[in-house]
Structure 1
Protein backbone atom coordinates (compact mmCIF):
# COMPACT_ATOMS: atom_id res chain seq x y z
CA UNK A 1 0.00 0.00 0.00
CA UNK A 2 1.44 3.37 -1.06
CA UNK A 3 -0.31 6.05 1.01
CA UNK A 4 1.84 9.04 0.05
CA UNK A 5 4.73 10.10 -2.17
CA UNK A 6 7.23 12.91 -1.71
CA UNK A 7 9.76 13.58 -4.45
CA UNK A 8 11.09 15.77 -7.24
CA UNK A 9 8.69 16.70 -10.03
CA UNK A 10 10.10 15.32 -13.29
CA UNK A 11 7.05 16.19 -15.38
CA UNK A 12 3.52 17.52 -14.94
CA UNK A 13 1.41 17.31 -18.07
CA UNK A 14 -2.38 17.29 -18.10
CA UNK A 15 -3.41 15.05 -15.25
CA UNK A 16 -0.20 13.02 -15.18
CA UNK A 17 2.71 13.77 -12.86
CA UNK A 18 5.98 11.91 -12.43
CA UNK A 19 7.69 12.19 -9.03
CA UNK A 20 11.23 10.88 -8.61
CA UNK A 21 11.94 9.18 -5.28
CA UNK A 22 15.33 7.56 -4.75
CA UNK A 23 16.02 7.38 -8.46
CA UNK A 24 12.63 5.85 -9.27
CA UNK A 25 9.95 7.81 -11.10
CA UNK A 26 6.41 7.28 -9.85
CA UNK A 27 3.61 8.09 -12.31
CA UNK A 28 0.76 9.71 -10.38
CA UNK A 29 -2.61 10.69 -11.81
CA UNK A 30 -3.90 14.00 -10.43
CA UNK A 31 -6.48 16.62 -11.37
CA UNK A 32 -5.42 19.05 -14.15
CA UNK A 33 -5.55 21.93 -11.63
CA UNK A 34 -3.21 20.08 -9.28
CA UNK A 35 -0.77 19.39 -12.11
CA UNK A 36 -0.72 23.08 -13.06
CA UNK A 37 0.28 23.98 -9.50
CA UNK A 38 3.40 21.79 -9.69
CA UNK A 39 6.71 22.96 -11.10
CA UNK A 40 9.31 20.69 -12.71
CA UNK A 41 12.38 20.39 -10.49
CA UNK A 42 10.58 21.29 -7.27
CA UNK A 43 9.72 18.99 -4.38
CA UNK A 44 6.09 17.88 -4.09
CA UNK A 45 4.05 15.80 -1.67
CA UNK A 46 0.83 13.98 -2.50
CA UNK A 47 -1.54 11.77 -0.55
CA UNK A 48 -2.12 8.71 -2.72
CA UNK A 49 -4.55 5.90 -3.40
CA UNK A 50 -2.92 2.80 -4.90
CA UNK A 51 -5.40 1.02 -7.19
CA UNK A 52 -4.58 -2.54 -8.26
CA UNK A 53 -6.47 -4.17 -11.12
CA UNK A 54 -5.91 -7.42 -12.96
CA UNK A 55 -4.20 -5.62 -15.82
CA UNK A 56 -2.81 -2.50 -14.14
CA UNK A 57 -1.52 -0.76 -11.01
CA UNK A 58 -2.18 2.96 -10.72
CA UNK A 59 -1.42 5.76 -8.27
CA UNK A 60 -3.87 8.64 -7.81
CA UNK A 61 -2.56 11.68 -5.95
CA UNK A 62 -4.22 14.47 -3.95
CA UNK A 63 -3.19 17.70 -2.25
CA UNK A 64 -5.22 17.03 0.91
CA UNK A 65 -6.43 14.07 2.96
CA UNK A 66 -9.96 15.39 2.52
CA UNK A 67 -9.74 15.00 -1.25
CA UNK A 68 -8.31 11.50 -0.83
CA UNK A 69 -11.13 10.57 1.55
CA UNK A 70 -13.80 11.79 -0.87
CA UNK A 71 -12.05 9.99 -3.75
CA UNK A 72 -12.17 6.70 -1.85
CA UNK A 73 -15.83 7.20 -1.00
CA UNK A 74 -16.61 7.89 -4.66
CA UNK A 75 -14.79 4.78 -5.87
CA UNK A 76 -16.91 2.78 -3.45
CA UNK A 77 -20.02 3.75 -5.41
CA UNK A 78 -21.17 1.17 -7.95
CA UNK A 79 -20.35 2.37 -11.47
CA UNK A 80 -17.75 4.93 -10.39
CA UNK A 81 -14.19 3.95 -11.27
CA UNK A 82 -11.05 5.76 -10.11
CA UNK A 83 -10.82 7.88 -13.27
CA UNK A 84 -14.44 8.96 -12.96
CA UNK A 85 -13.91 9.75 -9.26
CA UNK A 86 -10.88 11.86 -10.17
CA UNK A 87 -13.01 13.53 -12.83
CA UNK A 88 -15.56 14.51 -10.18
CA UNK A 89 -12.81 16.05 -8.03
CA UNK A 90 -11.49 17.90 -11.08
CA UNK A 91 -14.80 19.71 -11.33
CA UNK A 92 -16.01 19.85 -7.72
CA UNK A 93 -14.23 20.43 -4.43
CA UNK A 94 -14.97 18.22 -1.37
CA UNK A 95 -17.22 20.90 0.10
CA UNK A 96 -19.23 21.23 -3.12
CA UNK A 97 -19.63 17.45 -3.32
CA UNK A 98 -20.82 17.33 0.29
CA UNK A 99 -23.32 20.13 -0.37
CA UNK A 100 -24.65 18.41 -3.50
CA UNK A 101 -25.12 15.15 -1.60
CA UNK A 102 -26.77 16.88 1.37
CA UNK A 103 -29.21 18.73 -0.90
CA UNK A 104 -29.74 15.67 -3.14
CA UNK A 105 -28.57 17.67 -6.15
CA UNK A 106 -27.42 14.97 -8.58
CA UNK A 107 -27.41 17.45 -11.49
CA UNK A 108 -23.89 18.67 -10.61
CA UNK A 109 -22.52 15.15 -11.00
CA UNK A 110 -24.13 14.74 -14.42
CA UNK A 111 -21.92 17.59 -15.65
CA UNK A 112 -18.85 15.40 -15.12
CA UNK A 113 -17.69 13.49 -18.20
CA UNK A 114 -18.48 9.80 -17.84
CA UNK A 115 -21.13 10.24 -15.14
CA UNK A 116 -24.65 9.48 -16.39
CA UNK A 117 -28.01 10.20 -14.72
CA UNK A 118 -28.26 6.82 -12.96
CA UNK A 119 -24.71 6.96 -11.62
CA UNK A 120 -25.18 10.59 -10.51
CA UNK A 121 -28.27 9.60 -8.53
CA UNK A 122 -26.44 6.62 -7.07
CA UNK A 123 -23.59 8.88 -5.88
CA UNK A 124 -26.05 11.04 -3.96
CA UNK A 125 -27.79 8.02 -2.40
CA UNK A 126 -24.57 6.13 -1.57
CA UNK A 127 -22.74 9.11 -0.03
CA UNK A 128 -25.71 10.40 1.99
CA UNK A 129 -24.66 10.93 5.61
CA UNK A 130 -20.97 10.27 4.92
CA UNK A 131 -19.81 13.80 4.13
CA UNK A 132 -21.43 15.87 6.90
CA UNK A 133 -18.08 16.64 8.51
CA UNK A 134 -16.81 18.14 5.25
CA UNK A 135 -19.63 20.65 4.87
CA UNK A 136 -19.21 22.53 8.17
CA UNK A 137 -15.78 24.17 7.59
CA UNK A 138 -16.76 25.30 4.09
CA UNK A 139 -19.93 26.93 5.38
CA UNK A 140 -18.11 28.80 8.15
CA UNK A 141 -15.27 30.23 6.04
CA UNK A 142 -15.92 33.85 5.06
CA UNK A 143 -13.51 35.34 2.54
CA UNK A 144 -12.83 39.09 3.06
CA UNK A 145 -12.37 41.45 0.07
CA UNK A 146 -8.59 41.23 0.47
CA UNK A 147 -8.90 37.46 -0.03
CA UNK A 148 -10.38 38.00 -3.49
CA UNK A 149 -7.40 40.20 -4.36
CA UNK A 150 -5.01 37.48 -3.21
CA UNK A 151 -6.79 34.91 -5.40
CA UNK A 152 -6.33 37.22 -8.40
CA UNK A 153 -2.65 37.65 -7.52
CA UNK A 154 -2.08 33.89 -7.22
CA UNK A 155 -3.79 33.25 -10.55
CA UNK A 156 -1.51 35.91 -12.05
CA UNK A 157 1.49 34.01 -10.66
CA UNK A 158 0.42 30.84 -12.48
CA UNK A 159 -1.85 28.87 -10.16
CA UNK A 160 -5.34 27.78 -11.16
CA UNK A 161 -8.29 29.62 -9.62
CA UNK A 162 -9.40 26.50 -7.70
CA UNK A 163 -5.95 26.03 -6.13
CA UNK A 164 -5.76 29.75 -5.29
CA UNK A 165 -9.22 29.82 -3.71
CA UNK A 166 -8.48 26.71 -1.62
CA UNK A 167 -5.17 28.17 -0.38
CA UNK A 168 -6.78 31.47 0.65
CA UNK A 169 -9.69 29.66 2.34
CA UNK A 170 -7.24 27.53 4.34
CA UNK A 171 -5.34 30.62 5.49
CA UNK A 172 -8.52 32.40 6.54
CA UNK A 173 -9.98 29.37 8.36
CA UNK A 174 -6.76 28.96 10.39
CA UNK A 175 -6.36 32.69 11.21
CA UNK A 176 -9.29 34.28 13.10
CA UNK A 177 -7.95 37.79 12.41
CA UNK A 178 -7.37 37.19 8.69
CA UNK A 179 -10.07 39.72 7.74
CA UNK A 180 -7.81 42.49 9.10
CA UNK A 181 -4.66 41.34 7.30
CA UNK A 182 -3.34 43.47 4.40
CA UNK A 183 -3.17 41.88 0.95
CA UNK A 184 0.62 41.32 1.11
CA UNK A 185 0.35 39.42 4.40
CA UNK A 186 -2.45 37.20 3.13
CA UNK A 187 -0.53 36.57 -0.07
CA UNK A 188 2.61 35.49 1.80
CA UNK A 189 0.57 33.16 4.01
CA UNK A 190 -1.22 31.70 0.98
CA UNK A 191 2.10 31.07 -0.76
CA UNK A 192 3.36 29.32 2.37
CA UNK A 193 0.16 27.24 2.35
CA UNK A 194 0.94 26.13 -1.20
CA UNK A 195 4.19 24.59 0.05
CA UNK A 196 7.95 24.82 -0.29
CA UNK A 197 7.73 24.53 -4.06
CA UNK A 198 6.48 28.11 -4.16
CA UNK A 199 9.42 29.86 -2.40
CA UNK A 200 10.57 31.39 -5.68
CA UNK A 201 7.20 33.01 -6.20
CA UNK A 202 7.14 34.22 -2.60
CA UNK A 203 10.51 35.93 -3.12
CA UNK A 204 9.21 37.58 -6.26
CA UNK A 205 6.23 38.94 -4.30
CA UNK A 206 8.45 40.35 -1.54
CA UNK A 207 10.66 42.00 -4.17
Structure 2
Protein backbone atom coordinates (compact mmCIF):
# COMPACT_ATOMS: atom_id res chain seq x y z
CA UNK A 1 0.00 0.00 0.00
CA UNK A 2 1.34 3.42 -0.99
CA UNK A 3 -0.02 5.89 1.55
CA UNK A 4 2.17 8.99 1.24
CA UNK A 5 4.54 10.53 -1.28
CA UNK A 6 7.07 13.29 -0.72
CA UNK A 7 8.95 14.54 -3.73
CA UNK A 8 9.28 17.04 -6.56
CA UNK A 9 6.37 17.95 -8.81
CA UNK A 10 7.42 17.30 -12.40
CA UNK A 11 4.13 17.84 -14.24
CA UNK A 12 0.65 19.17 -13.55
CA UNK A 13 -2.00 18.21 -16.10
CA UNK A 14 -5.36 18.48 -14.27
CA UNK A 15 -6.58 16.25 -12.76
CA UNK A 16 -3.29 14.30 -12.96
CA UNK A 17 0.17 15.12 -11.70
CA UNK A 18 3.59 13.49 -11.88
CA UNK A 19 5.71 13.52 -8.73
CA UNK A 20 9.29 12.23 -8.53
CA UNK A 21 10.26 10.39 -5.36
CA UNK A 22 13.83 9.06 -5.16
CA UNK A 23 14.14 8.91 -8.94
CA UNK A 24 10.76 7.26 -9.50
CA UNK A 25 7.90 9.18 -11.10
CA UNK A 26 4.42 8.48 -9.74
CA UNK A 27 1.30 9.43 -11.70
CA UNK A 28 -1.38 10.59 -9.28
CA UNK A 29 -4.95 11.73 -9.90
CA UNK A 30 -6.36 14.39 -7.58
CA UNK A 31 -9.77 15.98 -7.05
CA UNK A 32 -9.60 19.52 -8.40
CA UNK A 33 -10.44 20.84 -4.92
CA UNK A 34 -7.03 19.48 -3.86
CA UNK A 35 -5.24 20.18 -7.14
CA UNK A 36 -5.70 23.96 -6.75
CA UNK A 37 -3.56 23.90 -3.61
CA UNK A 38 -0.51 22.19 -5.12
CA UNK A 39 2.80 24.07 -5.23
CA UNK A 40 4.36 25.01 -8.56
CA UNK A 41 6.13 22.55 -10.82
CA UNK A 42 9.68 22.01 -9.58
CA UNK A 43 8.75 22.48 -5.93
CA UNK A 44 8.41 19.84 -3.23
CA UNK A 45 4.99 18.40 -2.45
CA UNK A 46 3.63 15.98 0.14
CA UNK A 47 0.65 13.94 -1.03
CA UNK A 48 -1.44 11.42 0.89
CA UNK A 49 -2.52 8.66 -1.44
CA UNK A 50 -5.17 6.01 -1.91
CA UNK A 51 -3.89 3.04 -3.93
CA UNK A 52 -6.30 1.11 -6.18
CA UNK A 53 -5.36 -2.18 -7.84
CA UNK A 54 -7.50 -3.41 -10.74
CA UNK A 55 -7.02 -6.21 -13.20
CA UNK A 56 -5.99 -3.77 -15.90
CA UNK A 57 -4.35 -0.97 -13.91
CA UNK A 58 -2.81 0.26 -10.68
CA UNK A 59 -4.01 3.76 -9.80
CA UNK A 60 -3.00 6.36 -7.23
CA UNK A 61 -5.39 9.04 -6.01
CA UNK A 62 -3.86 11.93 -4.10
CA UNK A 63 -4.91 14.41 -1.43
CA UNK A 64 -3.30 17.23 0.51
CA UNK A 65 -4.41 16.02 3.94
CA UNK A 66 -5.35 12.79 5.69
CA UNK A 67 -8.84 14.21 6.28
CA UNK A 68 -9.40 14.73 2.57
CA UNK A 69 -8.36 11.17 1.86
CA UNK A 70 -10.66 9.92 4.61
CA UNK A 71 -13.66 11.64 3.02
CA UNK A 72 -12.78 10.15 -0.39
CA UNK A 73 -12.65 6.70 1.18
CA UNK A 74 -16.05 7.25 2.76
CA UNK A 75 -17.51 8.38 -0.59
CA UNK A 76 -16.28 5.33 -2.53
CA UNK A 77 -17.77 3.01 0.09
CA UNK A 78 -21.21 4.01 -1.16
CA UNK A 79 -22.83 1.39 -3.36
CA UNK A 80 -22.11 2.06 -7.04
CA UNK A 81 -19.49 4.76 -6.41
CA UNK A 82 -15.98 3.89 -7.57
CA UNK A 83 -12.77 5.93 -7.37
CA UNK A 84 -13.34 7.69 -10.70
CA UNK A 85 -16.81 8.83 -9.69
CA UNK A 86 -15.47 9.81 -6.28
CA UNK A 87 -12.85 11.94 -8.01
CA UNK A 88 -15.55 13.67 -10.04
CA UNK A 89 -17.75 14.27 -6.99
CA UNK A 90 -14.97 15.87 -4.94
CA UNK A 91 -13.88 17.94 -7.94
CA UNK A 92 -17.35 19.25 -8.73
CA UNK A 93 -17.90 20.68 -5.24
CA UNK A 94 -15.96 21.42 -2.11
CA UNK A 95 -16.03 19.00 0.79
CA UNK A 96 -18.15 21.43 2.79
CA UNK A 97 -20.70 21.62 -0.01
CA UNK A 98 -20.82 17.84 -0.31
CA UNK A 99 -21.38 17.36 3.43
CA UNK A 100 -24.14 19.98 3.35
CA UNK A 101 -25.82 18.27 0.39
CA UNK A 102 -25.84 14.97 2.24
CA UNK A 103 -27.09 16.50 5.49
CA UNK A 104 -29.85 18.42 3.70
CA UNK A 105 -30.68 15.51 1.38
CA UNK A 106 -30.10 17.88 -1.54
CA UNK A 107 -30.54 15.43 -4.42
CA UNK A 108 -31.05 18.18 -7.02
CA UNK A 109 -27.52 19.52 -6.50
CA UNK A 110 -25.84 16.12 -6.37
CA UNK A 111 -27.29 15.06 -9.73
CA UNK A 112 -25.47 17.97 -11.40
CA UNK A 113 -22.17 16.16 -10.77
CA UNK A 114 -20.73 14.01 -13.59
CA UNK A 115 -21.94 10.42 -13.51
CA UNK A 116 -24.34 11.03 -10.62
CA UNK A 117 -27.92 10.13 -11.48
CA UNK A 118 -30.90 10.35 -9.19
CA UNK A 119 -30.46 6.81 -7.83
CA UNK A 120 -26.76 7.34 -7.10
CA UNK A 121 -27.49 10.66 -5.40
CA UNK A 122 -30.16 9.03 -3.26
CA UNK A 123 -27.75 6.23 -2.28
CA UNK A 124 -25.08 8.76 -1.33
CA UNK A 125 -27.51 10.55 0.97
CA UNK A 126 -28.89 7.40 2.57
CA UNK A 127 -25.55 5.63 3.02
CA UNK A 128 -23.44 8.63 4.03
CA UNK A 129 -25.73 10.66 6.27
CA UNK A 130 -24.84 8.70 9.40
CA UNK A 131 -21.18 8.25 8.44
CA UNK A 132 -20.67 11.99 8.03
CA UNK A 133 -22.13 12.94 11.40
CA UNK A 134 -19.54 14.76 13.45
CA UNK A 135 -17.48 15.81 10.42
CA UNK A 136 -16.62 19.48 10.61
CA UNK A 137 -17.00 20.88 7.10
CA UNK A 138 -14.46 23.61 7.80
CA UNK A 139 -11.78 21.03 8.58
CA UNK A 140 -12.21 18.85 5.51
CA UNK A 141 -10.37 20.88 2.94
CA UNK A 142 -7.87 23.69 3.01
CA UNK A 143 -9.37 27.13 3.70
CA UNK A 144 -8.40 28.39 0.24
CA UNK A 145 -10.67 26.01 -1.66
CA UNK A 146 -13.28 28.67 -2.35
CA UNK A 147 -10.83 31.54 -2.64
CA UNK A 148 -10.33 33.64 -5.73
CA UNK A 149 -8.42 31.99 -8.58
CA UNK A 150 -4.71 31.80 -7.89
CA UNK A 151 -2.23 33.92 -9.77
CA UNK A 152 0.17 32.15 -12.10
CA UNK A 153 3.64 33.33 -13.08
CA UNK A 154 2.99 33.11 -16.81
CA UNK A 155 -0.33 33.24 -18.61
CA UNK A 156 -1.03 30.30 -20.83
CA UNK A 157 -2.12 30.62 -24.44
CA UNK A 158 -5.89 30.79 -24.85
CA UNK A 159 -6.05 27.63 -26.92
CA UNK A 160 -3.89 25.57 -24.56
CA UNK A 161 -5.71 26.76 -21.44
CA UNK A 162 -9.12 26.01 -22.93
CA UNK A 163 -8.04 22.65 -24.33
CA UNK A 164 -6.44 21.60 -21.05
CA UNK A 165 -9.57 22.62 -19.15
CA UNK A 166 -11.81 20.62 -21.49
CA UNK A 167 -9.52 17.59 -21.18
CA UNK A 168 -9.64 17.81 -17.39
CA UNK A 169 -13.44 17.97 -17.36
CA UNK A 170 -13.62 14.94 -19.67
CA UNK A 171 -11.30 13.04 -17.31
CA UNK A 172 -13.66 13.90 -14.46
CA UNK A 173 -16.59 12.37 -16.31
CA UNK A 174 -18.28 15.32 -18.01
CA UNK A 175 -19.57 14.82 -21.55
CA UNK A 176 -17.63 16.47 -24.43
CA UNK A 177 -20.42 18.84 -25.46
CA UNK A 178 -21.04 19.90 -21.86
CA UNK A 179 -17.33 20.42 -21.16
CA UNK A 180 -16.73 22.48 -24.29
CA UNK A 181 -19.81 24.62 -23.71
CA UNK A 182 -19.06 25.54 -20.11
CA UNK A 183 -15.37 26.22 -20.80
CA UNK A 184 -16.24 28.60 -23.64
CA UNK A 185 -18.72 30.38 -21.36
CA UNK A 186 -16.33 31.01 -18.46
CA UNK A 187 -13.04 31.53 -20.30
CA UNK A 188 -11.53 35.00 -20.25
CA UNK A 189 -8.27 36.16 -21.76
CA UNK A 190 -5.30 35.60 -19.46
CA UNK A 191 -6.88 32.81 -17.41
CA UNK A 192 -4.80 29.71 -16.68
CA UNK A 193 -6.18 26.22 -17.22
CA UNK A 194 -6.66 25.74 -13.48
CA UNK A 195 -8.64 28.97 -13.25
CA UNK A 196 -10.84 27.92 -16.17
CA UNK A 197 -11.45 24.51 -14.58
CA UNK A 198 -12.28 26.09 -11.21
CA UNK A 199 -14.81 28.50 -12.72
CA UNK A 200 -16.30 25.82 -14.96
CA UNK A 201 -16.89 23.47 -12.03
CA UNK A 202 -18.37 26.23 -9.88
CA UNK A 203 -20.79 27.22 -12.65
CA UNK A 204 -22.17 23.70 -12.98
CA UNK A 205 -23.13 23.13 -9.34
TM-score with structure 2 setting the length: 0.65
* CA deviation string 1:54-109 (max 9, x = no partner): 11110000112222111111111111110110111102222221111111112222
* CA deviation string 1:144-182 (max 9, x = no partner): xxx9xxx44xx35249xxxxxxxxxxxxxxxxxxxxxxx
- In structure 2, relative to structure 1, the CA distance for the partners of 1:105 and 1:16 (3 Å cut) is same
The whole-number CA distance in structure 1 between the counterparts of 2:137 and 2:19 is: 34
Q: Which residue of 1 aligns with 2:25?
A: 25
Name the SS of the counterpart of 1:133 in structure 2.
coil
Q: Is the 8 A contact 2:95 2:137 kept in 1?
A: no
Q: Is the 8 A contact 2:52 2:59 kept in 1?
A: yes
Larger of the two Rg values belongs to structure: 1
- Structure 1 regions of 5+ residues with no counterpart? 160-207
* CA deviation string 1:114-170 (max 9, x = no partner): 1111111101111011112224647xxxx9xxx9xxx44xx35249xxxxxxxxxxx
Q: Which residue of 2 aligns with 1:157?
A: 151
Structure having the higher helix fraction is 1
- In structure 2, relative to structure 1, the CA distance for the partners of 1:156 and 1:112 (3 Å cut) is closer
- Structure 2 regions of 5+ residues with no counterpart? 154-205
Q: Which is further off, 102-111 or 77-86?
A: 102-111
Q: Which residue of 2 aligns with 1:192?
A: none
Q: Which residue of 1 aligns with 2:114?
A: 113
Alignment of 1:107-186 (within 5 A): 107-135=108-136, 137=138, 151-152=147-148, 155-158=149-152
Structure ranking higher on relative contact order (CA contacts 8 Å, 6+ apart)? 2
Q: Which residue of 2 aligns with 1:50?
A: 51
- CA shift at 1:33, angstroms? 4.8
- In structure 2, relative to structure 1, the CA distance for the partners of 1:72 and 1:33 (3 Å cut) is closer
Number of positions where the alignment pairs a residue of Structure 1 with one of Structure 2: 147
Q: Which residue of 2 aligns with 1:3?
A: 3
The whole-number CA distance in structure 1 between the counterparts of 2:109 and 2:152 is: 27
Q: Which residue of 2 aligns with 1:12?
A: 12
RMSD: 2.2
Q: Which is further off, 28-37 or 104-113?
A: 28-37
- In structure 2, relative to structure 1, the CA distance for the partners of 1:106 and 1:158 (3 Å cut) is farther
Q: Is the 8 A contact 1:95 1:134 kept in 2?
A: no
